[in-house]
Every structure is written in structure tokens, then in C-alpha cells.
Structure 1
């Protein structure tokens, strides 16, 4: 089973934007996280999503971040390096009249070299072919991008095991099709 929806349109599955459709550009390497995986993830996050400040790093379609806004996140910073994909994301946010979403068209690594602001929840789902999990995770951890007990969602190619900071404690995990996904809870380094 493929864990990602084909380009075209994908559906927001919960919250105030439930059943809204996102237009998805048909571009190589763009793989929106499947509805089933998003539903599982947001069931895990249900007690903590309201009021959260989120970072959708390597946002792609922004399905994860828009789902977070739909379910009560106060803000989502979307970071997407492809200008066409970033514009499609802006168009979707505008069409859905969302509040709290901001899109930045920049490479994730360059974005993380900027002035850090701590986030409560980070979605880390870079293109599988680029193997960016470890450097992005290290930068998130070391440069002040994470709140003391932040949640971090990591989606990676099934069978791969990205090296992540030792104080990111696994909370829940699963696999579907070609992808493995896991939710981590950050412990302050002294507690790890």
C-alpha cells in the first residue's frame, strides 16, 4: 500500500477544516502524507494540539501543518524550498481562510540558520532521497528551535533509522507502505 496520496487533491480529515480539499501540484518527489497516517498522528496529538506553535519543516503540501491549524494550533510556520509548492501552499491557506499560517520559501537548512524561536510541535518529513533527518534534527535541537518538552513527528523511508538526538524519546510509532513514522517527545538534555 502506498502511504502517500497521488497529486491532485487531498482532504483535511479533522477539526474546523474537516473535509476541505487541498490542491496538490503534480511535481516529482512531492508525497503528501496519507490520510490514514495523518489521522493516527493527530489522534496521538489530540490532548496537546490546541494552542500549539508548530513548525512544518520541508512542508510540501502543508497537509500536516494545515491539519494542525484545523485542530486548534495557534500558529504554523511552513518552510518549503520549492517556490511553486510554496505558492500552492499559500493559495490553499488563502482559499481556506486559515489564520496563523505563514509560508517561507527557503531551504530548511538555511531557515534553521536564522534566529531561533522555540516550537511546541515540529513536523520533520524531508524528501526521502535527500537524507536530511539527522542534520535537520541536530540543528533543531542545538539551535533553540524546540520548546523544552516539544513533540517532534518524523517520517522516513521504511527500513531506515535516522540518527536523532538522544533526548528525543520515542512516544509512538508505526509504518505504512514505504514509510515509517514516529512521534518523539523532547526531554531537556539534562533529563535524557
Structure 2
């Protein structure tokens, strides 16, 4: 795969390799042809991996301008390494995630998968979760995956979405949400 640089001056905590691999194991049946929204995109490694595995559209949202400049460079490098026949739609928004989610002009159509990797030491914002689920950002059969610190658990339900699983990898965790009409049992793995 494409190696992405990570300057030490940027305070970015990239997703660990084993967490990234587990994420794409979880998403494997849904990734091909999907629209993928990468929130708190950082270097873009998750969104670019989603595209390389078959996502047709990837939308990156990153607030920090210096990090977004690196994200732009990484996307450009990735695009030059793609076969010319591979169609791609890769969009970058330099904007606070909650501001992005509040502005409906960014949402042309609901996406299939949302991956969110908010700042690691902060609990996942209830406002963020509410905006994702109530803002019609996801297709009715969409999937929301939140990477977070295991000691900062996410809510079991949010709007019409229920947490279906939490996967732990050391201090990190992936919580998976799916639309449900009735509450479900959450499994911790």
C-alpha cells in the first residue's frame, strides 16, 4: 500500500494498524461501491484505504488547516498512484465536524458508511452523535463506526441507531451503530 508521511510537528494520533485492519474486516461486506464519510480525517489513511478497497466516493472532513494540507498532499499522492481506469470521487472539507454536520448543504445524499475518529482523549460528543443520526446523514441501512478510547464508552443508542458491537484493541475501541426500530443487545468483544 501507499505509505503516508506523518510529520512529528502535527499532533495526530493515527489509527493503529490492527484497529484499521479490524475496521475493514467489519466493513468488508459493505465497502464496495459505497459512499464513505471520514470524519476527523487526519492524514486520510482510513478514507484512502476505504477507496482502495472499493468505496466509490470518499468525503474527508478535517478541521486543522495544517493537517488538512497534509491530507490534500496524501490524496494527491494517492490519486497519482491509481490506475487511470479507476473512477474516483474524493472530496476534502476543511471544517469543524459538528459545523459540517450542521450544514445540510454538504449533504447531497445520505452516505453508506460514516467513520469517526474524534480527538482521542475526549469523550465522544452527544451533539456529534445526535447530528449524525438525526441529520439524515446515513442511508437507512447505513453504518456508523466510532473509534474512541475504551475508557470513554459511547451511548448504547442514539436517535434511531443502536450500538450493535464494541470491539476493544488495547486502549482503543470501535463502536458500531446500525439503524434499528427496537433496542438490541450490545456485545463487547
For the criterion TM > 0.5, the same-fold answer is yes
Deviation digits for residues 39-98 of structure 1 (CA, Å, limit 9, x no counterpart)? 111112111100110110111121111110010001111000001111111111111116
After superposition, the CA RMSD in angstroms is 1.8
Cα distance in 1 for residues equivalent to 2:89 and 2:14: 21
- Superposed displacement of residue 166, structure 1: 5.2
User: Which of 116, 127, 133 lines up with 1:124 in the alignment?
Assistant: 116
Distance 1:27 1:118, change over 3 A: farther
- Superposed displacement of residue 137, structure 1: 1.1
* Maintained 8 Å contact 1:79/1:103: yes
Structure 1 unpaired stretches of 5+: 1-18
Matched, 1:94 2:82: no
Cα distance in 2 for residues equivalent to 1:28 and 1:147: 34
TM-score, scaled relative to structure 1 = 0.82
Distance 1:111 1:27, change over 3 A: farther
Q: What does residue 20 of structure 2 align with?
A: 38
Cα distance in 1 for residues equivalent to 2:152 and 2:20: 20
Cα distance in 2 for residues equivalent to 1:68 and 1:124: 13
Structure 2 unpaired stretches of 5+: 83-87, 184-189
TM-score, scaled relative to structure 2 = 0.83
Cα distance in 1 for residues equivalent to 2:148 and 2:140: 24
* Maintained 8 Å contact 2:130/2:159: no
Matched, 1:156 2:148: yes
